[in-house]
């Protein structure tokens, strides 16, 4: 029995990803990081049951919601949490802004590894903190952290926090236990806050398993300065329901954030999000296993196709996420020219790498969480772009 449904039609003007086709119906968008795979039927049924109660009034987050999240984090990510260590938030982005405002001061520096998820810079700068760009380096086709340079950057910048995205968006790198331990060591030696964005860590493949920065493997000292931000939205395609979690084991940090959460009423999240998130964590194991196997097939197909048929586009192999980071530098176009030519010659829209910081110049990000036939269409369009460029 197939649990997943890849036959969805998202072409409406208010859809962030597919809305672009209203201006160009021939354009295929492979951009925004949600899936063109139907939100699971069991979650939609649970939300319909809520509607059938006829009143969408005030609700209290259920104990079962917290229990489901705690169980999921323990079983799938090796993280031991208690109800008291959790704070509900509307989204990971809102949680990041919240943490910055209450655990750092105006003018404090926050280190972000680049290329980076674009809202990181917006949120940090909008909260009047210093955005400290730390470029990753490429080794054997993957991003790695130069820890000697990271240590120097921590010391010279006197940063107060470091933001770690694992798995990494846009590169798809899954940081190892050793790498995460080293980040913890360097941060703790300097009394730095570690903010762990692990929103993509339920998209896992047979050749890799992300380790949480709050994992029991990290140890008590490593976790002492860490705030975890997590949501079911990426893995279960729930971006619109606006529910996420913040977790920390540091009692002092927790006390400050709990007081702030009360002051801002930040835990008053979407009722549908409460139901959808609980249902995802309670019933989602088999569905997610099938989705991840499908995505792994998409990843491998796209990676091999690009290497064999369009070698001038150099893909970075995603160890996690459903995002593929593509190096277009061999074509010699500026970032603006590249985006324009992909649209005009290939009729395909990708996320411009320059949006992910200077380290992303010359790259594009492709979302492969789509029906396999749509992915094939996208790859054929990239091949058409490649042939048209060479013909000129």
- Report the CATH number that the domain containing residue 382 is assigned in CATH: 3.90.1150.10
- b/e for 205-222, b at 16 or more Cβ within 10 A? beeeebbbbbbeebeeeb
Residues 95 and 192 placed together within one structural domain of the fold: yes
Residues 135 and 253 placed together within one structural domain of the fold: yes
Which one of 267, 283, 299 terminates a domain? 283
Which one of 283, 309, 329 terminates a domain? 283
Residue 311 class from Cβ within 10 Å (0-12 exposed, 13-18 middle, 19+ buried)? exposed
Residues 279 and 292 placed together within one structural domain of the fold: no
356 is in which domain, residue-wise? 18-39+286-391
Closest among 61, 129, 133 to 97, alpha carbons compared: 129
Residue 276 maps to a domain:
yes
Residue 219 maps to a domain:
yes
pLDDT at residue 19, as a whole number? 80
Q: What is the pLDDT of residues 249-293, one digit of tens each?
A: 999 999 999 999 999 999 999 999 999 999 999 999 999 999 999
Kindly tell me if the per-residue pLDDT of 99 is higher than 70: yes
- Report the CATH number that the domain containing residue 196 is assigned in CATH: 3.40.640.10
Residues 326 and 248 placed together within one structural domain of the fold: no
Between CA 108 and CA 132 the distance in angstroms is 10
Percentages (nearest 5) of helix, strand, coil residues in the chain: 45, 15, 35
Kindly tell me if the per-residue pLDDT of 219 is higher than 90: no
CA torsion through residues 235, 123, 84, 221, sign: positive
Give 1's pLDDT tier (boundaries 50, 70, 90): low
Residue 26 maps to a domain:
yes
Residue 34 maps to a domain:
yes
For 2, 10, 79, 241, 310, the CA distances from 6, given in Å and listed in that order, are 11, 11, 31, 20, 26
Kindly tell me if the per-residue pLDDT of 216 is higher than 90: yes
Which one of 230, 251, 283 terminates a domain? 283
What DSSP state is assigned to residue 205? B
Residues 230 and 308 placed together within one structural domain of the fold: no
Residues 57 and 33 placed together within one structural domain of the fold: no
Read off the tokens for 233. 């939205």
pLDDT at residue 311, as a whole number? 98
Q: What is the pLDDT of residues 63-73, one digit of tens each?
A: 999 999 999 99
Closest among 232, 214, 191, 313 to 65, alpha carbons compared: 232
Please state the domain count of the chain: 2
Residues 278 and 313 placed together within one structural domain of the fold: no
In order, the DSSP letters of 141-188 are TEEE--HHHHHHHHHHHT-SEEEEESS-TTT-----HHHHHHHHHHHH
**Do residues 110 and 161 lie in contact, with contact meaning Cβ atoms separated by under 8 Å?**
yes
Residue 319 maps to a domain:
yes
**Do residues 303 and 324 lie in contact, with contact meaning Cβ atoms separated by under 8 Å?**
yes
Kindly tell me if the per-residue pLDDT of 2 is higher than 80: no
Average pLDDT over residues 50-58: 94
Residues 221 and 132 placed together within one structural domain of the fold: yes
Residues 295 and 342 placed together within one structural domain of the fold: yes
pTM: 0.96
For 204, 230, 284, 292, 350, the CA distances from 235, given in Å and listed in that order, are 9, 11, 10, 9, 21
CA torsion through residues 141, 150, 367, 2, sign: positive
Q: Which helix (H) or strand (E) holds 101?
A: helix 92-103
pLDDT at residue 21, as a whole number? 77
Residue 256 maps to a domain:
yes
Average pLDDT over residues 99-114: 98
Residue 60 maps to a domain:
yes
Residues 226 and 268 placed together within one structural domain of the fold: yes
Q: What is the pLDDT of residues 144-167, one digit of tens each?
A: 999 999 999 999 999 999 999 999
**Do residues 365 and 170 lie in contact, with contact meaning Cβ atoms separated by under 8 Å?**
yes
Residue 209 maps to a domain:
yes
Query: Looking at 7-11, 196-200, 249-253, 256-260, which range is the least confident one?
Result: 7-11
Residue 335 region, left (φ>0) first, then alpha (ψ -120 to 50), else beta? alpha
Residues 253 and 299 placed together within one structural domain of the fold: no
Residues 6+ apart with CB under 8 A from 86: 66, 69, 70, 245, 246, 247
Give 23's pLDDT tier (boundaries 50, 70, 90): confident
Average pLDDT over residues 25-51: 96
pLDDT at residue 222, as a whole number? 75
Residues 239 and 302 placed together within one structural domain of the fold: no
């Amino acid at each position: 029995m197939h649990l997943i449904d890849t036959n969805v039609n998202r072409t409406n003007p208010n859809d962030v990803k597919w809305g672009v086709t209203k201006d160009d119906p021939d354009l295929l968008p492979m951009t925004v990081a949600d899936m063109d795979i139907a939100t699971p039927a069991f979650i939609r049924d649970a939300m319909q049951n809520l509607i059938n109660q006829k009143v969408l009034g005030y609700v209290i987050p259920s104990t079962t919601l917290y229990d489901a999240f705690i169980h999921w984090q323990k079983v799938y990510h090796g993280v031991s949490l208690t109800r008291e260590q959790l704070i509900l938030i509307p989204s990971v982005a809102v949680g990041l802004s919240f943490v910055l405002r209450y655990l750092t001061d105006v003018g404090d520096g926050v280190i972000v590894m680049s290329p980076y998820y674009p809202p990181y810079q917006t949120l940090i700068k909008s909260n009047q903190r210093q955005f400290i760009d730390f470029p990753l380096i490429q080794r054997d086709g993957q991003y790695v952290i130069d820890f000697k340079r990271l240590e120097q950057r921590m010391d010279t910048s006197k940063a107060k926090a470091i933001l770690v995205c694992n798995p990494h968006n846009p590169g798809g790198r899954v940081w190892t236990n050793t790498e995460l331990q080293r980040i913890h060591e360097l941060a703790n030696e300097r009394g730095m806050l570690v903010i762990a964005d692990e929103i993509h860590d339920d998209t896992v493949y047979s050749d890799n398993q992300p380790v949480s920065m709050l994992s029991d493997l990290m140890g008590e000292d490593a976790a002492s300065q860490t705030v975890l931000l997590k949501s079911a939205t990426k893995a279960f395609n729930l971006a619109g329901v606006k529910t996420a979690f913040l977790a920390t084991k540091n009692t002092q940090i927790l006390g400050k954030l709990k007081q702030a959460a009360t002051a801002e009423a930040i835990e008053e999240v979407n009722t549908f999000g409460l139901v959808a998130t609980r249902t995802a964590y309670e019933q989602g194991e088999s569905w997610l296993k099938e989705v991840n196997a499908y995505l792994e097939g998409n990843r491998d197909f796209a990676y091999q196709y690009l290497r064999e048929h369009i070698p001038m586009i150099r893909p970075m192999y995603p160890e996690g996420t459903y995002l593929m980071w593509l190096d277009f530098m061999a074509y010699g176009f500026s970032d603006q020219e590249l985006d324009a030519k992909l649209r005009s010659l290939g009729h395909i829209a990708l996320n411009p790498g320059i949006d992910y910081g200077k380290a992303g110049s010359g790259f594009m990000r492709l979302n492969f969480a789509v029906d396999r036939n749509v992915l094939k269409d996208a790859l054929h369009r990239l091949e058409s772009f490649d042939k048209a460029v060479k013909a000129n």
